[in-house]
Structure 1
């Protein structure tokens, strides 16, 4: 593998992990806002907590897609066609969630608000679940044929390990969103978010343990590098423990930092666990990094854009967090 391929592989992982961190708490807030808010003012406060960052977080997904298409076209062609139903479900969830979050504040009656609230929850829960299913399929290995194509059906999607990964991702993103609300909100909403995060972290730990047991039994993840996968899993467990301890001590900032790490680690788990394969196959026809990457001239051309655009994305994200720091209601108006 060349140096350029290594650079773009790291960039691809960074962008997806960044999206899981930033888009992950969006999913979590959407899933939890109705239950934690209880009354309309609390629900508005929950939505407002993520308001300044909501659409900006999608930039990471757009950038990830651009790198996937440009730097790894052979992976894109195989991955998106094989996982087409799940990719479509993720996009539908994003559209529904973005629409519902922005329009619920314009609802004139209680009934219409309930409809938008339900769609907001669906818009957070559906992508979170489907991302987990995608990760589960990638960890297990897809039935890739010799010609590079594959198709996942109900048997693969609804396998116990894959379902556990889907449910686990939804629980992790929900816990991440609750930690975010504990950091960004005030009063009863913050306290309810802290309590919910503790419960959700416990539920995710149970789902993760079951997934590990299935893998040990030979019915779960089938990784190329078990030592690397075990090391990442151990770091994930430490991040969960740190988040739990910080939440129990009332340190919302440290808890959110720990859930940020936990949300990013599944990407590293897939990458490190299967390296040098970007797409592991249960049928023995895996796709390596070198075979999935574009040619050297294309990678060099893309590098000129990456050197400019990726730092700009990082600077924008840091600037937005600095400008809208603090808890909702103290310094900033309501959003949406």
Structure 2
């Protein structure tokens, strides 16, 4: 296998990991005003992702860095053409990260309320815009002979792109509800499980429409199989949630997101950024790649450090695997001493 193909697969794996892991983070953040009935329950929800949310964001940082190093032409065209959506995502992630750190610094309800809103908005914006961005990436965008994006923001806000945003939003909400059901106990656990079933049913309809549409635009026989597996995983996950099997339910939504993202990359290959202006202007794994020497050095570095990072993150999840309930949360007075 050529190194260009190896790095396309590695970058796809990084995005799969990011969406499958950060997806439930976004879902939990967006569901704060829906599932939590008081501040204690909001703290329970935030604590479920507190030990892992920043680690989950490492995946997108590495994906961006790997794209810059392995496919500089792809990076340049992507980040210039998608500049405004990516900037909004970055700002939302910054605000969200600050909110997690500052929310507990003062006991006043107004203070915590503003940071809760920051978490909600900071989770909603990326959940929506990542879907818009990747839908357009799979569909193709207008590129000229110099591989420069010739469209505008409105070009990206096409029906297929907007549907992609709705799908990621619904899937992340479902994924987040599944995670809350898996990681909590008591009333909030039961409310989260019931909500996950309802959200999953709506998300399944939107996801099937999107995946069928994506398959008709750029799909291959392999991507069709992957998309079908994603749909089956979602149905099985919803059924597991309905039966109270939270672990299997979460595994179902995890697999759904992972397979759906993987399917989009499979459908694109060997393109990395298809051109709707002229197929000859498309960026591919060949014409967008760095030099063979650069790819060789990167491969050795990835072979050494990737297992270490994955191992550390897996260990973190294992350490913080237990459920959290309201009685585990200290009173406000103790929390701010």
TM-score bracket for the superposition, by shorter chain length: over 0.9
Q: Secondary structure at the match of 1:290?
A: coil
Could you state the TM-score of these two structures normalised by the residue count of structure 1? 0.93
Please name the residue that 1:222 is paired with. 217
State the 1:149 CA deviation: 0.4
After superposition, residues 157-168 of structure 1 pair within 5 angstroms as: 157-168=156-167
For residues 26-80 of structure 1, what are the alpha-carbon distances to aligned partners after superposition, in whole Å with 9 as ceiling and x for unaligned?
A: 1111000222111111000000011111211111111111211111111111111
Gaps of 5+ in 2: none
For residues 261-294 of structure 1, what are the alpha-carbon distances to aligned partners after superposition, in whole Å with 9 as ceiling and x for unaligned?
A: 1121232122111211111111122111111111
The answer to whether 1:282 aligns with 2:272 is: no
Q: Secondary structure at the match of 1:244?
A: helix
Please name the residue that 2:168 is paired with. 169
Closer, same or farther: CA 151–25 of 1 in aligned 2, 3 Å: farther
Please name the residue that 2:257 is paired with. 263
State the 1:247 CA deviation: 0.2
More divergent stretch after superposition (240-249 vs 147-156): 147-156
The answer to whether 1:5 aligns with 2:4 is: yes
Please name the residue that 1:245 is paired with. 239
Please name the residue that 2:321 is paired with. 325
Please name the residue that 1:150 is paired with. 149
For residues 269-322 of structure 1, what are the alpha-carbon distances to aligned partners after superposition, in whole Å with 9 as ceiling and x for unaligned?
A: 221112111111111221111111111111111122111111111101111011
The answer to whether 1:231 aligns with 2:230 is: no
More divergent stretch after superposition (203-212 vs 267-276): 203-212
State the 1:329 CA deviation: 4.5
**CA separation in 2, counterparts of 1:55 and 1:168?**
24
Please name the residue that 2:138 is paired with. 139
**CA separation in 2, counterparts of 1:313 and 1:272?**
25
**CA separation in 2, counterparts of 1:254 and 1:153?**
42
Closer, same or farther: CA 155–282 of 1 in aligned 2, 3 Å: same
Q: How many pairs does the alignment contain?
A: 330
Please name the residue that 1:36 is paired with. 35
Could you state the TM-score of these two structures normalised by the residue count of structure 2? 0.92
